[in-house]
């Protein structure tokens, strides 16, 4: 019912909708309508009420990451059409894995706060309340499991495109970091549930720092947020743009085996191609030159002795 009330108000746009009309359309009492309106106001919706006219949204509720705000008129086929929104949760990736087998592909889990946000290899991801976009996308492609890691690049390229549509130019530090002004603004954690030859589901976890101004000491030097870099952009707009861009690249990859569009974006916006970087693996650190990202999404590097190698996973530090 809460969803129906907010949809009716969104549908009436700049016009007022009276309590009487709402109560008739939705089949509930005017007191019940009034209770819903108050609850929505507490969630952050700025609903104006004028005597004899009724209710309308005083401003676009663009910073609430609820299903109504993001999925409403979202021009995608399935990505982001179902959203589960929490105030707080351990990790959206862990929750996505709990429900992965039961929900439709394209379902997005979003939380205002994570108490156990995760990075790769057991690292932690700082996810304070309201500071960022902490979300996990569940997808169910019919592909062999070995094709799954490329989806991290598809997600990275989609974030680059989404932010670029909103006026922010970012770079990708292969394979899973998004960089703004030389600092990490976003990390991606892809997890897979599969059998030998079949993917059950894939969870793509994305953390984007939006409003954080003070980072904890251990990441102060290397992390940043959109606000910190002077960009005030609505979180809901970013999520919507991400859904649109991801669906395009994802469909291309899954249905037409098109990797080029994703690779093009990853190469053009690479923070590492053409640079000297350290490759860190198994506690060893080696200075190499990054040459390219190949058609499989792997990094091509040149070692000091001139050998050319393909790197499939690992850490790159600039
Ligand atoms: C990542 O791992 O960058 C993947 C982060 C994925 C987070 C999302 S949030 C929604 C979903 N639910 C989850 O539980 N996770 C996903 P990695 O490359 O391993 O980087 C982790 C490292 O980044 C940490 O060890 C810190 O050094 C640093 N870090 C932690 N929190 C950060 C933050 N908020 N911003 C920038 N850097 C951070």
Report the chain's mean pLDDT, rounded to a whole number: 93
Residue ranges with strand state E in 78-142: 83-89, 108-114, 132-139
Considering the domain architecture, whether residues 95 and 75 belong to the same structural domain is answered as: yes
At 296, list the tokens. Answer: 């499989």
pLDDT in tens, 198-234: 999 999 999 999 999 999 999 999 999 999 999 999 9
91 lines ligand 1 (CB under 6 A): yes
Same domain for 231 and 312?
Answer: no
Burial class (CB within 10 angstroms; exposed 0-12, middle 13-18, buried 19+) of 295: exposed
Same domain, 144 and 200: yes
Query: 90 C-alpha vs ligand 1 centroid, how far in Å?
Result: 14
Residue 223 Cβ inside 6 Å of ligand 1? The answer reads: yes
Cα–Cα nearest to 191, from 141, 160, 152:
152
Centre of ligand 1 from the C-alpha of residue 31, in Å:
45
pLDDT of residue 60: 62
225 lines ligand 1 (CB under 6 A): no
Question: Does residue 82 register a pLDDT over 90?
Answer: yes
Q: Are residues 127 and 12 in the same domain?
A: no
Strand order in the sheet with 108-114: 83-89, 108-114, 132-139, 199-209, 183-194, 177-180, 171-173
User: Which tens digit of pLDDT belongs to each residue from 224-257?
Assistant: 999 999 999 999 999 999 999 999 999 999 999 9
Closest atom, ligand 1, to C-alpha of 187: 3
Q: Do 208 and 77 share a structural domain? A: yes
Which own/partner contact pairs does 278-281 have at CB distance under 8 Å and 24+ positions apart? 278/316, 278/317, 278/318, 279/311, 279/314, 279/315, 279/316, 280/314, 280/315, 280/316, 280/317, 281/314, 281/315
Instruction: Give the per-residue pLDDT at 17.
Output: 93
Q: Give the C-alpha separation, 79 to 74, whole Å.
A: 9
Are 25 and 161 within one domain? no
Q: Clarify whether residues 87 and 214 are in a common domain.
A: yes
CA distance 171 to 161: 10
**Nearest ligand 1 atom to alpha carbon 114:** 14
State which residues form the domain around 92. 67-268
| Calpha distance 65→84 (Å, rounded) | 10
Final residue before a domain boundary, out of 268, 285, 306: 268
- Does 170 lie in the same domain as 80? yes
Question: What atom in ligand 1 is closest to the CA of residue 96?
Answer: 12
- In CATH, what number is assigned to the domain containing residue 20? 1.10.10.10
Asked whether 55 and 6 are in contact (CB, 8 A), the reply is no
Protein residue with least CA distance to atom 3, ligand 1: 187
As a whole number of angstroms, the distance between CA 293 and CA 57 comes to 47
pLDDT class for 61, splitting at 50, 70, 90? Answer: low
Please check whether residues 148 and 53 belong to one and the same domain: no
Q: What is the whole-number distance in angstroms between the Cα of residue 207 and the centre of ligand 1?
A: 7
Say if 62 falls within a structural domain.
no
The enclosing domain of 91 has a CATH number of: 3.30.930.10
Q: Are residues 193 and 51 in the same domain?
A: no
- List residues bridging with 285 in a β-sheet: 280
What is the domain count for the chain?
A: 3
Q: Is residue 245 part of a domain?
A: yes
**Mutate which of 207, 208, 228, 235 to test ligand 1's pocket (most atoms within 8 Å of Cβ)?**
207
Q: pLDDT value at position 94?
A: 98
Q: Quick check: 278 pLDDT over 80?
A: yes
Q: Which atom of ligand 1 is nearest to the CA of 135?
A: 10
Q: Assess whether the C-beta atom of 219 lies below 6 angstroms from ligand 1.
A: yes
Q: Are residues 200 and 121 in the same domain?
A: yes
- The verdict on the CB of residue 206 being under 6 Å from ligand 1 is yes
Residue 132's pLDDT is 97
């Amino acid at each position: 019912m809460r969803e129906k009330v907010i949809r009716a108000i969104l549908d009436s746009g700049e016009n007022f909708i009276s309590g009487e009309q709402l109560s008739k359309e939705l089949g509930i009492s005017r007191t019940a309508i009034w209770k819903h309106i108050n609850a929505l106001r507490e969630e952050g919706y700025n609903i104006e009420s004028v005597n004899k006219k009724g209710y309308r949204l005083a401003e676009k509720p663009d910073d609430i990451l609820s299903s109504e705000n993001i999925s409403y008129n979202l021009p995608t086929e399935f990505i982001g059409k179902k959203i589960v929104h929490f105030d707080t949760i351990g990790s959206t990736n862990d929750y996505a894995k709990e429900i992965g087998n039961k929900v439709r592909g394209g379902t997005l889990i979003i939380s205002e706060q994570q108490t156990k946000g995760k990075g790769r290899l057991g690292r932690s991801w700082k996810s304070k309340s309201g500071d960022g976009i902490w979300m996990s996308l569940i997808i169910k492609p019919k592909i062999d499991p070995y094709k799954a890691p490329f989806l991290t690049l598809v997600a990275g390229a989609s974030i680059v495109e989404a932010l670029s549509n909103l006026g922010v130019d970012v770079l990708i530090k292969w394979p899973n970091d998004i960089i703004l002004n030389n600092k990490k603004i976003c990390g991606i954690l892809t997890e897979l549930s599969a059998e030998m030859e079949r993917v059950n589901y894939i969870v793509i976890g994305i953390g984007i720092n939006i409003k954080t101004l003070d980072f904890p000491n251990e990441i102060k030097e290397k992390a940043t947020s959109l606000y910190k870099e002077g960009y005030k952009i609505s979180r809901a707009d970013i999520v919507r743009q991400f859904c649109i861009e991801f669906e395009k690249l994802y469909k291309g990859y899954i249905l037409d085996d098109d990797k080029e569009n994703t690779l093009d974006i990853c190469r053009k916006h690479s923070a590492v191609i053409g640079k000297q970087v350290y490759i860190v693996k198994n506690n060893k650190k080696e200075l190499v030159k990054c040459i390219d990202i190949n058609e499989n999404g792997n990094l091509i590097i040149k070692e000091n002795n001139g050998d050319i190698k393909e790197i499939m996973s690992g850490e790159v530090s600039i």
